[in-house]
Amino acid sequence: MESDRHRDRFIRGALVASAVMNTGAALLFAFPDSLGQIAGLPAPVPHIYTSLLAVFVMLFGIAYAWLARQPIIDRALVGFSALGKMAVFLVILLFWILGDLPGRSALAAVGDLIFALIFARWLVRSRR
């Protein structure tokens, strides 16, 4: 059971780290003209779009933090999180391939890919 406790601690840490990453991403999306330039986000963008995107990214971050604090980690929410993180990575990768985003945007999205893989691995290993 020690390995189960280790896996549990690891996924909780990954969820907290993902929450922190989402907070940073929300700030990038909220301010694409300044902070967003770190990740190569397109600007200028109407504020309604940047604000709504920042809110949704932050809500996901809050959900990750909440999930990390639950006595039992909900597998369905981790699966949903893995799918969401992978989808974000793939969309940004696609727009980089199409030439609509600079390489640093795709590089910034690698964190989403890493968390997607961590979440998926936990789902597979915790099923046993």
Query: What percent of the chain is predicted at pLDDT more than 70?
Result: 98
Are 104 and 42 contacting, i.e. CB atoms less than 8 angstroms apart?
no
* pLDDT score of 73 more than 60: yes
The model's pTM is 0.91
Give the pLDDT confidence score for residue 64 in this predicted structure.
98
Give the pLDDT confidence score for residue 128 in this predicted structure.
64
- The label of the residue with tokens 């961590």 reads 118
Q: What are the pLDDT digits (tens) for 10-36?
A: 999 999 999 999 999 999 999 999 999
Q: What are the pLDDT digits (tens) for 85-123?
A: 999 999 999 999 999 999 999 999 999 999 999 999 999
Residue type, 9: R
Phi, psi at 43, each rounded to 5°: -150, 155
Report in angstroms the alpha-carbon separations of 110 from 35, 51, 56, 68, 86. 18, 23, 19, 22, 10
What is the rounded distance in angstroms from the CA atom of residue 84 to the CA atom of residue 82?
5
**Better-predicted residue by pLDDT, 125 or 127:** 125
